[in-house]
Amino acid sequence: MSEQLTLYTAKICPYAQRTEIALAEADARFTRYEIDLRNKPEWYLPKVPAIAYGGPQVPPDQPSPESVKLNESLVLVEFVADLYPNSGILPKDPVLRAKARLFIDAVSNKFSPANFSVVHNDGDPEQLVQALEHLQSLLPPTGFAVGEYSLADIAIAPFLGRLHLNLANDLGGFPEGKGEGERILKLLQSPKLARFQEYTKALLDRPSFVATFDKDHILQSGKRRFAELRAKKYGA
């Protein structure tokens, strides 16, 4: 891979972190450009994350029309896996690949809606517990989603990192200071989710995760964002 690769990303965004983890796992050389999602530069049109690939070496804030522009986080993770076949994020075995993609399908269609409900406080947190139990049922006895670390783990880790950080700081769509963050966190710590907890710990300890998860920045941005959401929902 000798073409230039520029990643347009935002530390706050879990979708963007997927792509950053993939690039970290691949030990890729790339130009990282942080987009302020609350104040997008005028020249920046697509969603975050996006990759500009190939074309001439140009300053990232002057993207060349000659580079290929790609987006959608899961497409970008597969793209990084294809550019760096030795990154290991795409298993070699077709059956493990299929299992990784089925896990991602469950993340997108079962976990994400339940997680979104907790974040916005418009559903029963018990649904999130059920979604995690389902994901847990897909896990092998030890190791990551398909044993070895893969794109399946990359798909969920950024969301689990933010969920735990937010709940531990009483951040969410629920009212502040009523112990709701702690209560939901306790649901996630139920013994029936023991295997999933072990899996979560391994995900969040992974060096590629740690290196791309700016805890302080995400916490500060989260405080601002949830303050706004709560003001809207419950009045200032």
Residue ranges that bind a copy of itself, judged by CB under 8 A: 53-54, 68, 70-72, 74-76, 78-79, 82-83, 94-95, 97-99, 101-102, 105
Shortest Å distance, C-beta 68 to a copy of itself: 5
Environment class of 38 (CB within 10 Å of its CB; exposed 0-12, middle 13-18, buried 19+) = exposed
Shortest Å distance, C-beta 79 to a copy of itself: 4
Residue closer to a copy of itself by CB (options 95, 236) is 95
Residue closer to a copy of itself by CB (options 79, 226) is 79
Residues 6+ apart with CB under 8 A from 39: none
User: What share of residues in the chain are helix, strand, coil (percent, to 5)?
Assistant: 55, 10, 35
Residue closer to a copy of itself by CB (options 50, 129) is 50
Residue closer to a copy of itself by CB (options 54, 113) is 54
Shortest Å distance, C-beta 82 to a copy of itself: 4
Q: How far apart (Å, rounded) are the C-alpha atoms in residues 236 and 222?
A: 17
Shortest Å distance, C-beta 22 to a copy of itself: 13
**Measuring CA to CA, how many Å separate 175 from each of 157, 170, 185?**
26, 9, 15
**What are the backbone dihedrals phi and psi of residue 233, each rounded to the nearest 5 degrees, phi first?**
-80, -40
